[in-house]
Amino acid sequence: MEIETTRGRFDVIDEGKGTTLVLVHGFPFDAGAWRADVTALSPRMRVIAPTMRGFGATRADASEPLTIDGMADDVAAIVAAIDVPGPIVIGGISMGGYVAMAFARKYGEVLRGVILADTAGEPDDEAALAALEQGIAQVERGDLSGFVDGFLESVLSPDTRSESPAVAKQMRDMMMKAKPASVASALRALHDKPEAMSGLSEVSVPALVIVGEHDVTTPPAAAKALVAAMAETRTQLVIIPKAGHFSNLEQPAAFCKAVTSFIATL
């Protein structure tokens, strides 16, 4: 459904009742990447999954530069427009994890819990920044397909590539729906994302950190660093076997089990 907010019109999935879980998708997907998770989780909780500006059917003003903090503001505007009662759990994967961390820093007063999946708080090193710059150049010269193929090769676990080719194809098909200009804008947002680790020390609600066993983009060591940064709160770490950087798509049952178990403790 479409939600009109103070920051534009957003396409949003909103299903279920109970504790409200807001899920922010990763790059370069839209909220459809959460479809299976919403179906599995919504009998137990309310799940809201917005599509970020520039992606999918969302029609928010694309002239505003895409930033991680700006996306956190978009999520806050969506929650306000829907008029969600009580505190929420914010969750995000990959790029969405950066947005969730920014949301926790800026809007911590509305939080009941935080879920960070396949993401990191440390600044990127020079090699990672160079790879983002190369990705921007590749997409802007018209090679979205080549970029997506290379990106998939780097984020999928060996198990997904060998045992679940249909999942790999589904992910590629979803990525190829993205507009090249939006992909380039999101890559710039990732390149320029704010430092997140220091803000995590201020998280005062329970947190769940999820990471794929074979995530080489934001590996288990990065997930453990997130847990350490939130040492003052109750934080769980779940490492999902046979998953790479998109654990919810590669191992959806294990991902949803971790989320359901966490929500039940709140």
Strand locations in 118-233, DSSP E?
207-212
pLDDT (mean) for 48-58:
93
Among residues 118, 102, 131, which one has the least CA distance to residue 218?
A: 118
Tens digits of residue pLDDT in 164-182: 999 999 999 999 999 999 9
Phi/psi for 234 (5° steps) reads -80, 110
Domain locations along the chain: 2-123+195-264
List the 46-50 sheet strands across, edge first: 2-5, 8-15, 46-50, 20-24, 88-93, 111-117, 207-212, 235-240
pLDDT band at 73 (very low <50, low <70, confident <90, very high): very high
**CB burial of residue 249 (10 Å; 0-12, 13-18, 19+):** buried
Tokens of 176: 């190829």
Sign of the CA dihedral 140, 31, 40, 225? positive
The CATH code of the domain at 2-123+195-264 is 3.40.50.1820
Tens digits of residue pLDDT in 216-260: 999 999 999 999 999 777 899 999 999 999 999 999 999 999 999
Tens digits of residue pLDDT in 129-167: 999 999 999 999 999 999 999 999 999 999 999 999 999
Mean pLDDT rounded to a whole number for the chain: 95
Tens digits of residue pLDDT in 86-115: 899 999 999 999 999 999 999 999 999 999
Distance from C-alpha of 217 to C-alpha of 195, rounded to nearest angstrom: 17
- Assess whether pLDDT exceeds 80 at residue 117: yes
Among residues 116, 73, 86, 50, which one has the least CA distance to residue 255?
A: 116
